[in-house]
Amino acid sequence: MTTLARIGERLRQNYGEPGRHAHERLRSWLADEVPYAYPEVLVRHLDADHLALVFDAFWQVLPFGTGGRRGRVGYGSNRMNPTTVAMTVQGHCQYLTSVFPNRTDLAVVVANDVRVFHDLAGVYGFLGHAHPLLGVSSRSLGKLACEIYAGNGIVAYFAEPENDTAVLTTPELSYLIGQLGAVGGINLSASHNPPDDNGIKVYDLYGSQPVAPDDQRLVDIMAQATDIHSIPFAQALSRELIRPIPRRLHEEYLRTYVRLYDRLHTPLPAYPVVFTPLSGCGLTTVGALLERVGFPLQTPPDQGPDGTFAAIPFRIPNPEVPQATEPAKAFADTRGIGLVLSSDPDADRVGLEARLPDGGWYHFDGNQLAAMLCYFLMLDPRGPQRRGLVIETLVTSRLLGKIVARAGDSWIVDDLLVGFKYVAAVLKALDQTGTYGDVRCAPEQLVLAVEESHGGMLIPHIKDKDAAPACLYFATLYQQLRQEGKTLLDYYIHILEELGGYADVNRSIMMSGAEGVLRRDRLMRSLRDTPPRQLGGFAVTEMIDYWDETRFGAFVSETDKLPRNVLRIVTDGCVTIIRPSGTEPKLKFYCQLLPHGADTALSGRALLDTVRTRAEAVAGQVYNDLLARLDCRLSEAGLLMSDIIDLDHKHTFDTTTIAQLRQAFLSRSLLSLDDTLAWLRAETAGMTPGADPLPALKAPLAMLCEQWQTEGLASPALEALRQWTRIESIESIESVESIESMRLKGP
């Protein structure tokens, strides 16, 4: 039996029918039947030690999710690599020529972010220090895409073609498609994912991502696109099949938002702000815009473009993750600056941290950002007091509906599936017919479109979310509030006092690899087969299944099924929406706490803290209610772990690491803070590949330290660890060692 046959037999034995499919795809790649397959590298995978890796790499074709493909860089059909990009782009070419058969002037825009693959997780350590994917970047994949568009006779507009460090953000890509008269575009980016990931997002001629059934036709063509047509980059550039993006269009993009600022009639900015692109592309859009209108802007010097995101905790450049801006907040503290704005690597998501009078910082989540933007635009006397259309997804805060109702003479669309492509679909329907459901207005009447994951849109002809205008408005609001001696948190609390104690908590159950996908899907089947009677401590009154074709219409394509894989579970006190991610192996759920009668007697920070604490408690209970369907449960400490950590690592920490740490304190085998942190770092190294895991453990360790000391456990190392968890920002063990009071070396 050949080595390939033996691997195939083991795949079938271990994984059943999915294992058989993995073997068939592996055979095809080894036979060089797909482009850029690297069979000479795949041969080195054919070892029993790598069976799980081979299965995960080949058990499926990397799905075309919310707006494209996104996943780990690696070898195989279920990975991001030149093969995935080439087949996606060739399929896009064939799709475009079929949709526009009579046009000879087809053009697209190709964008890329900063990321570069270095295998920080060490997945391919068995291949040594040199193999074809090491050093593959979004830029190099973008150049490959340009060569394929050119080979199919389609002009590719590319930022500074001869500059290998050039980038282009997602929102500017959307803008440029319309300005250049292109029929579509792509972006090589994994958005806010870790640096070992990458992705490709596909855009249509409106500058938006296609929805079903258009995306199904695209996916079907891509699946068969193995005959790749390409022209070498330099040759295509000389023939003007690859063209630079005119610089003037970048200036026009910025002026679009400068005009929004000019309409506010605000005083000149006086208070500096910190902006971090989280090592991505945001300086070209957000940074340039804030400087253009005159904000005194400062950026941490080590957080410029870097495809490894080395300066970002966990190497996860996501504004949704509070720890991502810890270094930027420390930078702001050294300069007495009270506002930190951020954007993810492709600059479509916004983050906001505000310093409080006591010197601490408050991290605003996406729902709070959406509410503040909407209130400022519609109800704040200092704002533009606009009336018109507000659009949000069904997982975004219900507080926006209250704002729109209070404003009057306005409309809200609040039941959209997740993804800004559905926002764009509303605007396209309004442009073509003047109606969407019961709403009758023009797209130009858009006030705001938002989603809970830190995305916002403020003008209808850029049909994707954009961090730039959101940062502009938040920086402006910060200036006004500083002059009044108030903070952005005061502003948000005022909104709750006026409109009600709404609170939203969103969580994810990360389940990595092929097994994670299967567990995720099994959990969704369980909820459908046996609907819960209680969830989060409340009795369930209704479960709405968006796969219900009698209620929501027949599926128009297979690509229509994935975004509709949503359950909305209603109780008297909370609405919970549950859905699998369209691009990652995780289950996401969104707890929308509704105002409670008792909250009306509260005000100020007491109101915020009460509703937030209640919402977090409900979300924690929902987390365990869902895990129970996988025969699993986490302790209170386990539930405090960041959701960037996958479930298996959480479970190991919860069931093994905590007990071992407690025993080490009891036996005094750990005598100092240095010993304790070194031990923890070694025990949990796999939690955050390529990054220090310790910041992810601060919350559960803080709770455990207090609990153990209350129980009477006394140890100098335990006390030192308790103090460590209280430090606002800890980037390394060295920063702890610099605090003399923490140098406890035992009794």
Give the model's pLDDT for residue 94: 97
Q: State pLDDT tens for residues 411-468.
A: 999 999 999 999 999 999 999 999 999 999 999 999 999 999 999 999 999 999 999 9
Using the predicted structure, report yes or no on whether residue 582 has a pLDDT greater than 90.
Answer: no
**Beta strand 297-298 pairing with 273-276:** parallel
* SS3 call for 307: coil
Same topology for domains 251-499 and 503-633, yes or no? no
The pLDDT assigned to 734 comes to: 33
- Residue 263: per-residue pLDDT: 82
325 vs 732, which has greater pLDDT? 325
**Helix (H/G/I), strand (E/B), else coil: 398:** coil
From 648, 641, 622, select the one nearest 700 (Cα to Cα).
641
Q: Are 328 and 342 in contact (CB under 8 A)?
A: yes
The class of domain 60-245 in CATH terms is alpha beta
Residue 328 tokens, joined:
């930027």
Residue 680 confidence (pLDDT) above 80: yes
Q: Which residues of 279-302 are buried (b: 16+ CB within 10 A; e: fewer)?
A: bbbbbbbbbbbbeebebebbbbee
Q: What is the architecture, at CATH level 2, of domain 251-499? A: 3-Layer(aba) Sandwich (3.40)
Q: Please tell me the predicted confidence (pLDDT) of residue 411.
A: 98
Q: Which of 578, 586, 589, 571 is nearest to 535 (CA)?
A: 571
Structure tokens at 143: 């150049």
Give residue-wise pLDDT tens across range 696-720: 899 999 999 999 999 999 899 999 9
Give me the mean pLDDT over the 111-130 stretch: 95
Q: How far is CA 102 from CA 66, 96, 222, 357, 417, in A?
A: 30, 11, 21, 64, 34
Alpha helix ranges (H) inside 180-270: 214-223, 233-238, 247-262
The reported pLDDT for the residue numbered 2 is 84
Q: What phi and psi, each to the nearest 5 degrees, are found at residue 531?
A: -55, 140
The order of strands in the sheet holding 273-276 is 297-298, 273-276, 339-343, 350-355, 361-363
- Write out pLDDT tens, residues 335-362: 999 999 999 999 999 999 999 999 999 9
Mean pLDDT across the stretch 287-300? 96
Taking CB atoms within 8 Å and a gap of at least 24, the contacts of 40-47 are 41/75, 41/127, 41/131, 41/132, 42/75, 42/76, 44/126, 44/127, 45/75, 46/3, 46/4, 46/7, 47/126
Q: Does the pLDDT value for residue 320 go beyond 50?
A: yes
Tokens of residue 675, six digits: 């010993």
Domain residue limits, the chain: 60-245, 251-499, 503-633, 647-742
Give all strands (DSSP E) within 113-206, no chain letters.
155-158, 184-188, 197-203
Paired with 570 in beta bridges are: 542, 575
- Residue 247, pLDDT > 50, answer yes
% residues pLDDT > 90 (the chain): 87
Find the mean pLDDT for residues 20-49.
95
Q: Is the pLDDT of residue 194 over 50?
A: yes
Q: Which of 650, 670, 645, 648 is nearest to 660 (CA)?
A: 670
* Cβ atoms of 73 and 88 closer than 8 Å: no
Q: Which fold has domain 503-633?
A: TATA-Binding Protein (3.30.310)
Report pLDDT for 583. Answer: 67
Contacts of 236 (CB under 8 A, 6+ apart): 146, 147, 150, 151, 156, 242
Neighbours of 126 (CB within 10 A): 13
Which residues are registered as beta bridge partners of 243? 157
Q: What is the pLDDT at residue 267?
A: 67
Q: Note whether 117 and 135 are within 8 A (CB).
A: yes
Q: In whole angstroms, what is the distance from residue 68 CA to residue 420 CA?
A: 13
- Which H helix or E strand runs over 109? strand 107-112
pTM above 0.85, yes or no: yes
pLDDT at residue 742, as a whole number: 28
DSSP 650-671: HHHIIIIIHHHHHHHHHHT---
More confident residue, 327 or 518: 327
Give the C-alpha separation, 137 to 78, whole Å. 18
Crossing angle of helices 366-378 and 488-499, in 10° steps, is: 80
Region 278-293: mean pLDDT is: 97
| 236 pLDDT tier (thresholds 50, 70, 90) | very high
pLDDT, tens only, 377-401: 999 998 999 999 999 999 999 999 9
3-state secondary structure of 515: helix
Confidence band of 1 (pLDDT split at 50, 70, 90): low
Non-local (6+) Cβ contacts of 27 within 8 A are 4, 8
Mean pLDDT, the chain, whole residue set:
93
State yes or no: pLDDT of 222 exceeds 70. Answer: yes
- Determine contact, residues 445/434, Cβ cutoff 8 Å: no
